[in-house]
Amino acid sequence: MCSRNRRPVSSSLRRPATVAALLALSVLAAACGGSAATPAPTEAAATPATVPSATPATVPSATPATAAPTEAPATPAPASVTVRLALDWTPNTNHTGFYVADQEGWYADAGVRLEVLPYGGTAPEAVLAAHQAECGISFQDSLTFAAAAGAPVVSVMAILQHTAQEIAVLDSSSIERPKQLDGRTYAGFGYPNEVPTLQSVIRADGGTGTFDSVMLDTAAYEALYNRRADFVITFTAWEGIEAGQRGIGLRTFKFTDYGFPDFYQVVLACDRDWLDRDPATARAFVAATVQGFEYATANPQDAAAKLIAANPGVFDGNPALPAESAVYMATQGLLVDAAGKVGTQTLDEWTGYSKFLYEQGLLADASGNPLAQAPDYASLFTNDFLP
């Protein structure tokens, strides 16, 4: 059965699967999907598998009908090339730029037909490793785990340039700084990088990093809100906003305020084999995607409206959340680097967090054995396909 436990809708505290499990999933995805491109959807994947192109796939020949028969006819424009994008969960504001670029016709202009593969329980990195998609939504930690395992994946652009994860406690609690989390109860998701991250932040604030953990997956938030736990890791651009809508006040602590390295919260990962095989299409696809996220930065509310329109029914339970999230991302500068650019990546940022994962002994090879030496952090990303 091709399925995995589902993760929080927008948090990039993604389950960085063990190396052996990740590679097994890539084989499983191929076996379950056969030659099909789309992983089997679950009830969570409400978006259609294909986002229709805004313009026709082909351009009519420019040759006049009255041209002399001895003249060579104009070469017809080639048909658009399909690029499959594997989602990590149901559509949300981490994905807005793709839907904007499609609806504005920028993919069509680039000769690309976008096909969105709904999340069906298989991690996008595994879908890419099985060559069932050209690109997918990933995260710095997840991609680092996958690459260490030998998956042929690489980040071609940063979608969220900074982490939007923060430690959250109720604002009515007596906890006013991370060191006061010692001896408290953490409600988490069971991913291997959670506890080391929290310990690093707490110790940097003068604590011991000793606390109790209960792994509750998506129920972690409700455990905090109902005072059954003392703290969680929240994604401020989605769950944080949602808490505010419900009148639940939170006090949060940024990782980076306590010496923890900033990292790329969300990235666009692609299959290395595809990039080598069709670099022209890859560049065209990435350029149009950058344009979509530039639009999302400058026009967050309109971009959110396009996201909602492209995914009927997905946001019916909270139609205001995408717009609030989009505005938050834009005003907090999450989509741009220090120079205001979309998509760019640096070796320093890739090294910082990925090195932390290595030093914590969390990176393993395809056999599940801890890496004997640090990975080549420069190999995890490329800016070569950015416009």
- Spatial separation of the C-alpha atoms in residues 225 and 193, rounded to whole Å: 23
Question: Is it the case that residue 235 has pLDDT exceeding 80?
Answer: yes
Question: Is it the case that residue 172 has pLDDT exceeding 80?
Answer: yes
Question: Is it the case that residue 47 has pLDDT exceeding 70?
Answer: no
Question: Is it the case that residue 209 has pLDDT exceeding 80?
Answer: yes
pLDDT, one tens digit per residue, over 309-344 is: 999 999 999 999 999 999 999 999 999 999 999 999
Helix boundaries (H) for the chain: 19-33, 96-103, 106-109, 124-129, 140-148, 194-204, 220-225, 241-245, 272-277, 279-298, 300-310, 321-331, 347-359
Helix boundaries (H) for 232-373: 241-245, 272-277, 279-298, 300-310, 321-331, 347-359
Common-topology check for domains 19-56+79-160+265-380 and 165-258: yes
Q: What is the mean pLDDT of the chain?
A: 85
* Residue extents of the structural domains in the chain: 19-56+79-160+265-380, 165-258
The confidence score (pLDDT) of residue 181 equals 98
The confidence score (pLDDT) of residue 57 equals 31
Q: Give the sign of the dihedral formed by CA 92, CA 97, CA 98, CA 101.
A: positive
Mean pLDDT of the 189-207 span: 97
Write out the E strands in 60-102.
81-86
Question: Is it the case that residue 41 has pLDDT exceeding 50?
Answer: no
The confidence score (pLDDT) of residue 79 equals 73
Mean pLDDT of the 221-249 span: 98
- Spatial separation of the C-alpha atoms in residues 240 and 270, rounded to whole Å: 29
Q: Do residues 246 and 239 make contact, with C-beta atoms less than 8 angstroms apart?
A: no
The confidence score (pLDDT) of residue 279 equals 98
pLDDT, one tens digit per residue, over 76-107 is: 445 799 999 999 999 999 999 999 999 999 99
The confidence score (pLDDT) of residue 78 equals 56
Fold of 19-56+79-160+265-380: D-Maltodextrin-Binding Protein; domain 2 (3.40.190)
Binning pLDDT at 50, 70 and 90, where does residue 110 land? very high
**Range name among 23-37, 179-193, 221-235, 360-374 with the lowest pLDDT average:** 23-37
pTM metric for this prediction: 0.83
- Spatial separation of the C-alpha atoms in residues 307 and 300, rounded to whole Å: 10
Radius of gyration of the chain (CA): 22
* Percentage of residues of the chain with pLDDT beyond 70: 80
User: Going by CATH, does the domain composed of 165-258 fall within 3.40.190.10?
Assistant: yes
Cα 125 to its chain centre, rounded Å, is 11
Q: What type of residue sits at position 323?
A: A
